[in-house]
Amino acid sequence: MDYVLNFESLDKSALPMVGGKNASLGEMIKAGIRVPPGFAVTTDSYLAFITEAEIKDKIYAVLTDLNPDDVNALNNVAAEVQELIKKAPIPENIQNAIGDGYSQLCNQCVVEIVPVAVRSSATAEDLPTASFAGQQDTYLWVEGTDKVIQNVRKCWASLFTPRAIAYRIKNNFEHEKVLISVGIQKMVNSRAAGVMFTINPTNGDISKVVIEGSWGLGETVVSGSVNPDKFVVDKVMMEINERSISTKHIECVYDVEKGEVVNTDVDEDMQCQCCMEDREIKELVKVAKQIESHYGRPMDIEWAIDKDFSFPKNMFIVQARPETVWSQRKPESKIGGKTGRQLLMEQAMKRIKIPG
Amino acid sequence: MAEDTGRFPDPHEFQVPPELEGWEEMYPTHYLFSQDRAEWEKAQFWYQDKIHAPEPMPPLDLIFQEAWQISLSQYTTRVFCIPPAQGIAQRMLGPYMYICAIPPPPEVVIGEKAQLFEKRVFYVFEHYDELWDKWLYKFRSLGDEMAAVKIPPELPKFVPEAEVLPAPTGCYVSYDLIEAFDTLVNQMFKGWQYHFEMLNLTYLAYLMFADVARKLFPGISESAIGKMVAGAYVSMFRPEEELCRLARLAMSMREVSDVLKSGMSADQKFAELQKLPDGKQWLEEFDKAKDPWFYVSCGSGWFHYEGSWNTNLDIPYGYIKGYVERLENGEKIERSMDEIEKQRDEIVAEYRKLIKTDEDRKSFEDAYNTIRTIYRYAEDHLFWVEHWFHTIWFQKIREIGSLLVKHDMINEVDDIFMFNRYEIPELLTELATGWALGVDIPLRGQYYKDKAEKRKKILDAAKEWNPIPALGVPPEEVAEPFTIMLWGITTDKVKEWLKGVDVAAAEDISEIKGFASSAGVIEGPARVLKLLKDIVDLQPGEILVCPSTNPSWAPVFTKIKAAVTDIGGLTSHAAIVCREYGVPSVTGTGVATQVIKTGDILKVDGDTGVVTIVERKG
């Protein structure tokens, strides 16, 4: 039984053990994509925890016959379960395994205490047909074994937010079948970060990669708290067909004094500046294409550009999941089955409007 | 200026600067805006044709424009009958040419044309290859006939004996001279009739394919479409290929390559090479390449003063020098045609793979095959007509010019281009009449000389004047394929013009727009070259800024970082070559050579078509 597994040892077959997000990071590392190093706290850790702490049966008992539309009952049950998870002692061997995993990561990064992102990775999450995305928590810039373990526990608890519970009931996922793993990943000290899609999310055009990015950590883009810079890039020609630079008022950064990540104001002269260079855009597109062809489907990817490294070693992928909106639609014909002859005849009849 | 009213000045009221006074008499009267047709002319939208007539128009050079006005239009209106499209009309205002795409005909006519279109057009697509072979044979024969037209070198004191005895030939030099000019005019018109034989259809097919590509891949760039459509084995590139071949040949001839690398003039090199045994062999090969390939114009082919490689042998010799040097450094000089074709096919295959439904994939393939079948025409006809054919014509006209100089009718050979094609027969008739009348007959040489001088002054003054971009009322719709594809008349363009580029403020302009014709973004120093002969100044790593390029500029493209032109759309020479070399380019800016100065630091964005002047020199 493995309580922790290095990302490098993971692939999609590890999904039941490490959840979708972590398995996907392992897949990408195997495909040669630059992913920040880290390890997964497996679902076995979680199971061993709730079993050995003897809270497992209690949890599933309170969840039985819960009406998801009864908000009060839902909130009470959620609070009760979360309380159980927060209070129960974590078995020592699990704590040791996480501690060892963290120390090894520190060694690998050649720093005493490496800041990490702690993210939950549920086993039913991010399946193309069931988007659980964003339902579990993420904790940024966590430093030291104790804090890592603390946040692992929070992630475990996040499996039982009222929203997550209700979602499972309504979509007929059994609570027992949905397990949780946690990813511990080296933080990218990002100058700029954001998301990208290997399909144009506005029209479903799969010949484009659409990148959105802003200053600092990617959370501002993911959460929608800034208008990001946006680039539409042609996959075949690698040309930037469209670029819109927005005013980016805030950025998410690590505050040394507070010891946490905070949203701060962006310097005025930086607000309207493009947050990335063209070569960085093109490098991202290259990686996006690689990821898409690895998975064989349109993907939704989180990326970050590290200020401590130089191009192209500064480009990191921190997350990738299948795109779920357009991928589920049945593709429609755009040309309507016309022949070259019909198309030519149509063109010949055309008049181009020039509005006055 | 006219932004609030949404219309440009009325051409009948527009005043040209006083120093252009007398410009009207240089051109045929039907080329002038006139009260007789005022109502119609006022209702049209006229824009300056910067593609064919970016410079003030010498009277005789108008012949090419006259010829295309008829030919281009007739194929659309009367031959292949593109249903809602009509022809393109031309007018002169000052020494600049304005054109207008005539609005669609009544619905009844559109219906009639649609039927004819269907019947007539598809045959061409289905038989393109064989039609092209016929076309080329026919066209080259016409050029050869033109080259064979005999121009009397002078009017002899008495006709030669052989023309009288044993039997009189019956017609003599006075007739030959007038006939020769008429023949040259007729041949030019005929050549231009041939020019458009398949071109309108090619443009139509291109627009069709571009439309399909845009529907399938919204936002796809014009340069991507251009790259999918372009061919590698194109006549336009042959002149350059011949230079490469000659440079390679010289590599196995030590002494020859030494001469070619030297700083001597073309004439000196020729003399030196003739002394060498290998040199003679090399010169034979050079001669073989010369006809037809060095008939390539040093400019667009539209103006007599541009010259050709043949008339400026220093240009091909200069290029060969560069190629020999690069070969000695172990560099590769040839375009790799197979590589270019392979690359293109890969791009097409990649896009094809991105199409989601079988139905669309089939339409895409069908549309692609349609344009690929015929697109070669757009690429190949250019060399033969605008370059080879025009160069022959200029040579012939200059022979007549020499005769006129000899007989004291004009001062310089090229002054013949100061008279339009209707005036020259009058001039020749006066000369022939004088000759026929006997000795001591007064001729009005001074009259013609004065006229030529005055006209040269007007044309010079016109260069200093910046013509207004458009006149009349912008149209609500355009159906004419050339207007859209070649001149790129779009809503944006019209709006840009309405804003009016104030040339007095050229120094204040820091950004100009054109076609995003070859992708990539790059920064570097500008080199503004108005004429090909100035390319000696060009340094490696500079950004070329020029009115337009053509095949004779080809060797320049391996040296430059980016190209910006005044004239030319997405299928212009600069656009095609830049895409091939992976050099960013913005074409058809209209004003680059006016606004940009050599040494300015530019940022050329070939993805968006924007050129920014980052820093002014000094």
B215 at interface of A, judged by CB pairs closer than 8 A: yes
Q: What is the DSSP string of B97-143?
A: EEEEEPPP--HHHHHHHHHHHHHHHHHHHHTHHHHHHHHHHHHHHHH
Tell me the count of A-B CB pairs closer than 8 A: 144
Q: What is the Cα A100 distance to its own chain's centre?
A: 25
Contact of B122 with B208, CB cutoff 8 Å = no
pLDDT band at B578 (very low <50, low <70, confident <90, very high): confident
CA distances from A341 to A346, B29, B208 (A): 9, 43, 10
Length of chain A as a residue count: 356
Question: Where residue B2 falls among pLDDT bands split at 50, 70, 90?
Answer: very low
The chain B residue lying nearest A350, using CA atoms, is: B479
Q: pLDDT of B114-169, one tens digit each?
A: 999 999 998 888 898 899 999 999 999 999 999 999 999 999 999 999 999 999 99
- Find the farthest-apart pair of alpha carbons in chain B and give their distance in angstroms, rounded: 85
Q: What is the pLDDT of residue B485?
A: 66
The C-alpha atoms of residue B291 and residue A192 are separated, in whole angstroms, by: 60
Three-state secondary-structure class, residue B601: strand
Residues of chain A neighbouring B362 (CB-CB closer than 8 A): 337
- Per-residue pLDDT tens digits for B385-434: 999 999 999 999 999 999 999 999 999 999 999 999 999 999 999 999 99
- In order of B134, B253, B374, the CA distances from B125 in angstroms are 14, 47, 7
Q: Check whether B591 has a pLDDT greater than 50.
A: yes
Residue B499's pLDDT band, with cuts at 50, 70 and 90, is low
Distance from CA of A30 to the nearest CA of B (A): 25
Residue B550 main-chain phi, psi, to 5 deg:
-155, 180
State how far the Cα of B425 lies from the Cα of A94, in Å rounded to an integer. Answer: 105
What does the alpha-carbon distance between residue A47 and residue B358 come to, in Å, rounded to a whole number? Answer: 48
A-proximal residues of B, 109-168, CB under 8 Å: 110, 114, 117-118, 121-122, 125
The second-level CATH assignment, the architecture, of B503-615 is 3-Layer(bba) Sandwich (3.50)
Give the CA diameter of chain A: 78
User: What residues of chain B lie within 8 A of the CB of A355, using their CB?
Assistant: 476, 491
Task: Express each pLDDT in A252-292 by its tens digit.
Answer: 999 988 888 899 999 999 999 999 999 999 999 999 999 99
pLDDT recorded at residue B505? 56
| Tens-digit pLDDT profile for residues B316-346 | 999 999 899 999 999 888 878 888 889 899 9
Picking from B84, B221, B489, the nearest residue to A351 by CB comes out as B84
Q: What's the mean pLDDT in B457-480?
A: 84
* pLDDT for B491: 65
Say yes or no to pLDDT of B228 above 60: yes
Residue A321 near residue A24 (C-beta atoms within 8 A): yes
CB contact under 8 A, B83 and A242: no
**What is the model's pLDDT at position B484?**
66
Dist CA A5 CA A26 (whole Å):
10
Give the amino acid at B605. D
Lowest mean pLDDT among A203-217, B238-252, B489-503: B489-503
Inter-helix orientation angle B173-195/B390-406, to 10° = 160
- Average pLDDT rounded to a whole number, residues B430-442: 97
CATH 3.40.1160.10 fits A190-328, yes or no: no
Residue A355 to chain B, least CA–CA distance (Å): 6
For range B502-531, the mean pLDDT: 80
> What mean pLDDT comes out for the span A75-80?
92
Which of B125, B207, B220 faces A347 most closely, judged by CB atoms? Answer: B207
- How far CA A327 is from CA of A200, B255, B492, in Å, comes to 11, 68, 35
Q: What's the rounded mean pLDDT across residues B544-563?
A: 85
User: Is the predicted pLDDT of residue A127 greater than 70, yes or no?
Assistant: no
- Crossing angle of helices B173-195/B62-74, nearest 10°? 50
Mean of all residue pLDDT scores within chain A:
89
Share of chain A above pLDDT 70, in %: 95
Residues of chain B with CATH 3.50.30.10: 503-615
The answer to whether the beta carbons of residues A306 and A191 sit under 8 Å apart is yes
Mean pLDDT on A98-111: 94
| Closest-approach residue (CA) in chain A for B480 | A351
Residue spans in chain A of domains classed CATH 3.30.470.20: 190-328
pLDDT in tens, A168-189: 888 888 888 888 899 999 999 9
Amino acid at A81: V
Specify the pLDDT at position B5.
Answer: 59
Q: Which two tokens stand for residue B332?
A: 């590769």
Q: Is the pLDDT of residue A57 over 70?
A: yes
Q: Which residue has the higher pLDDT, B322 or B571?
A: B322
Q: How far is CA B123 from the centre of its chain?
A: 29
Query: Cβ separation of A239 and B519 shorter than 8 Å?
Result: yes
Decide if B363 and A236 are in contact by the 8 Å CB cutoff.
no
CATH number of the A4-186 domain: 3.30.1490.20
CA distance B344 to B227: 6
A340, B366: Cβ pair inside 8 Å? yes
A349–B489 CB contact, under 8 Å: no
Q: Is B478 on the interface with A (CB under 8 A)?
A: yes
Q: Is residue A1 very low, low, confident or very high in pLDDT (cuts 50, 70, 90)?
A: confident
β-bridge partners, A39: A6, A184
Which of A234, A236, A242 is most worth mutating to test chain B (most B CB atoms within 10 A of its CB)? Answer: A236
Per DSSP, what are the bridge partners of residue A208? A234
**A282 φ/ψ angles, rounded to the nearest 5 degrees:** -65, -35
Average pLDDT, chain B: 90
**B-chain residues near A354 (CB < 8 A):** 474-478, 489-491, 494
Q: Which residues belong to CATH 3.30.1490.20 in chain A?
A: 4-186
pLDDT of B230 reads: 84
- Closest residue, chain B, to A346 (C-alpha): B208
Residue A40: CB atoms within 10 Å: 31
pLDDT in tens, A188-199: 999 999 999 999
